[in-house]
Structure 1
Amino acid sequence: MDSSKIEDVDASLADYGRALLGAGANASAVSMASATAALTRMIADADRSREIRREAILRAHHDLFRRTPSEAHRAGTLRTTQNWVGGSDWSPLGALHVPPPPETVSAYLDDLLAFADRDDLPPVAQAAIVHAQFESIHPFIDGNGRIGRTLIHAVLRRRRATRHLTVPIASALVAHRERYFAALGDYRAGQAATIVAMLASAVRIATAESWVTATRLREVRADWGAAVGGSRPGTPPHRTLDLLVEEPIVNPALVAGRIGVDEEEAAAVLAALTRAGVLRRAPRSRRAPVWLAGAVLDEVGDLSDRIQASSRRMRGA
């Protein structure tokens, strides 16, 4: 979500949840849910193939924009026109960055992917340079920032610096949005050290705070067990409680598919967990009900706040 906030895209958790479940939501929520789908696809592809592949980048871009009417026709395709960063919509005069001409983009991307698949340099430095180079190429008309930040996670997963979880690195970057953009400018001026150092700091802070959240989520799961009076392993309520730690925004269809019951039984489990205080029904979701595991979502929000606060303290130290 914080990667979208860097692009000034934000939405409530309830709207974001509806968008994730395909239950209808506002444009910002749909955009954020689409960014989540793109992130998931890129990381999964890097994990499976042990490569950073052009096809995965294009499919992730398609995920990002296929639900955006004004951009759907360009979803998943490299740009064929000149673009620029900053300045006006009509001219690159005064732009912060003018990327290479469109006819050179494909070759530049091939070169970037070859670098991304190397194993002879530190993973965090590699991820930072891949990200900054991707932003410099700016291969799409829109969505370069979100796809580029997704590439950071894809490189770290390919290098096995991460194996199971996606640490919210963007939460540290959004704390210093202007400094982050300036670091990309330094890279284009030939100074890669700024963005490498910034990403290394972001990874360190996000990882440390994520360990705290992991501990707290184990405590949340234990509290839920007490709230429902205990549950037997393997039963639908027990499996749903386990699911909610990973998927804190659900509806009957999602629960039914993930724990292997019909939607009627899933709805009954959700109702019971709502009565126990584990779940709450999202507001404004009468036609397409969505349930939220508030304790998990509150912890995720707190994680983002802690990462940003730690990043600002480090900057001020």
Structure 2
Amino acid sequence: MESEQAEWAWPPHMPEVRQWRQRARGGTAADRMLTEVTIMRPPLIARRQPRFDGQLLASMEACVLEIAALDHSHGAELAALETLLLRTESVASSKIEHIDASVDDYARALHGVKSNPSATSMAASTAALAALIGSVGAGAELEVSMILMAHLALMLDDPSESAYAGRFRDLQNWIGGSDYSPRNAVYVPPAPETVVEYMADLVTFANRTDLPVLTQAAIVHAQFESIHPFTDGNGRIGRALINTVLRRRGATRRVVVPLASALVARRAEYFDVLGEYREGRIEPIVRSFTTASVIAAREAQVSASRIAGMQPRWRREVAARRGSAADRLLDRLIGAPIFSASEAEDAIGGATSSVYAGIERLHAAGVIRPLTARTRNQVWGAVELLDELADLAVRIEAAAH
């Protein structure tokens, strides 16, 4: 009986006392005098088999059905929904790290306007999430190199972290406590020399096909956060891995489940279940992710229904002649709700004057609005879709409480 329990048990992280010395002086005298630190070593998980009761397994199965219903949206709204959810998830994941910016600032950052550092960071988070999910298309295996590439996309433009963009840490990091030492830290991850082994083990677990998909996604995320392999950006890359697992296992084909929006709404619970995972209790984080996924999928379905009605309404409001520049702009607007004038010109062709006249017609009808103060190559956004980007997060947050 003991051997069976050991086989199915999920062991806690184990403490290890190591010597500590500041690399750069600073902080209080207590920071400078610290000589030892207790790091936490997660278990290796590549071949471990979690076990749950039937009720939780049934809840996970029902959740996957909700996600599948979301992923089977039809027609033109699917492309818009794919874009909307990718951005919703990236924005929400950034907000967990207290990185926030307006929808307009974020939209501008997606088109290279870097005047708002928070918006630029959100746009980088979108690029990182897209890179990771794209790497496992058609069931391809997740590779460590793709996690590094996603981190490069996330951190390359960060002035304080660009030197470590796309690289595992070679120093000890910690969460909470002092900025100058691990004194009073909430959690101290494993030593830097163990990161490569841990990440290889994590990827092996992520590529398994014998686990319930939500269990796998939750554990991959929690284990990644425990390893904390980067000097910064761990939370956003770790949350991107959730949808990467869902995509690789076929739970989604095109859409992104905006789980981070539900996690933002219950931030304290989110960090609590990560703590319980480190104590060897994995059911709380799996249960939390299951609940959050159902909420996120249902609210995203509401967005899909709203999107389905947008394009017919735009056509009535614009009343453009079939085949005109304005009409061709409307054809692509549902899937590309943020665009520059030059992008519109490349996409629909025709005379420059006709394209600009078409843009102005959509603007006059209130379908699009300018997002920059430029006089040339203005960036435009579809009003209703930008509003939906903000509203979806609000609805998920309300449903999560």
* TM-score for the superposition, normalised by structure 2: 0.74
The one-letter code of the counterpart of 2:221 is: H
Among 43, 57, 60, which residue is 2:147 paired with? Answer: 57
Q: Which amino acid counterpart does residue 113 of structure 1 have in structure 2?
A: V
Indicate if the aligned counterparts of 2:217 and 2:242 stay in contact, CA closer than 8 A: yes
| 2:272 aligned partner | 182
Matched with 1:206 is 296
Q: Structure 1, residues 290-311: CA drift from partner, whole Å, max 9, x if none?
A: 2121111112211111111111
Note the residue ranges of structure 1 that are not aligned, 5 or more in a row.
313-317
- Asked whether the equivalents of residues 139 and 250 of structure 2 are also in contact (C-alpha less than 8 Å), the reply is no
Q: Where does residue 172 of structure 2 map in the other structure?
A: 82
Q: CA shift at 1:242, angstroms? A: 3.6
Q: 1:18 aligns with which of 97, 108, 113?
A: 108
Distance 2:251 2:291 in 1: 15
The question of whether the paired residues in 2 share the 8 Å contact of 1:108 and 1:137 is answered with yes
Farther-moved stretch of structure 1 (246-255 vs 219-228)? 246-255
CA contact (8 A) 2:92 2:260 kept: yes
Residue number in structure 2 paired with 1:249: 338
Cα offset, 1:62, TM superposition: 0.6
Aligned counterpart, 2:232: 142
Alpha-carbon distance between aligned partners in 1 of 2:203 and 2:146, rounded to the nearest angstrom: 11
In the alignment, the residues of structure 1 paired with residue 352 and residue 138 of structure 2 have an alpha-carbon distance, to the nearest angstrom, of 31
Query: 5 Å matches for 1:237-316?
Result: 237-259=326-348, 265-282=354-371, 284-286=373-375, 289-312=378-401
Alignment correspondent of 2:34? none
Q: Flag the structure with more relative contact order, 1 or 2, with Cα contacts below 8 A and sequence separation at least 6.
A: 2
Q: Which runs of 5+ in 2 are unaligned?
A: 1-90
**Structure 2 contact 366–383 (Cα < 8 Å) conserved:** no
CA 1:261–1:89 in structure 2 vs 1: closer, same or farther (change >3 Å)? farther
Paired with 2:351 and 2:285, the residues of 1 have a C-alpha distance of: 49
The share of aligned pairs that are identical, in percent, is 49
Post-superposition CA distance 1:232-276 (Å, at most 9, x none):
3x6643442243223322211333344456766543332221012
Q: Which residue is equivalent to 2:201?
A: 111
State how 1:28-39 maps to structure 2 within 5 Å. 28-39=118-129
Q: Report the CA distance between 1:65 and its aligned residue.
A: 1.0
Q: Is the 8 A contact 1:209 1:307 kept in 2?
A: yes
Deviation at residue 72 of structure 1 after TM alignment: 1.2
1:144–1:275 distance in 2 versus 1, CA, 3 Å: same
- Cα distance in 1 for partners of 2:351, 2:149 equals 32
Partner of 1:315: none
Separation in structure 2 between the aligned mates of residue 37 and residue 264 of structure 1, nearest angstrom? 33
Q: What is the match of residue 24 of structure 2? A: none
Q: Aligned to 2:136, what secondary structure does the other structure show? A: helix
Give the AA of the match of 1:311.
A
- 2:252 is the alignment partner of 1:162: yes
Which residue of structure 2 lines up, in the alignment, with residue 123 of structure 1? 213
Give the stretch that moved more between structures: 89-98 or 242-251: 242-251
Q: CA RMSD in A?
A: 1.8
Structure having the higher Rg = 2
Following TM superposition, by how much is the alpha carbon of 1:167 offset from its aligned partner in structure 2, in angstroms? Answer: 2.2
TM-score normalised by structure 1 residue count: 0.93
CA distance in 1, matches of 2:292, 2:331: 29
Q: Spell out structure 1 runs of 4+ moving beyond 3 A.
A: 234-239, 256-268, 283-288
After TM superposition, the structure 1 stretch with the greater mean CA deviation from structure 2, 260-269 or 123-132, is 260-269
Counterpart of 1:17 in structure 2: which amino acid? A
Secondary structure of the 1:246 match is: coil
Aligned length: 311
Tell me which moved more, 107-116 or 279-288: 279-288
- Secondary structure class of the residue paired with 2:334: helix
1:228 to 311, 314, 318: 318
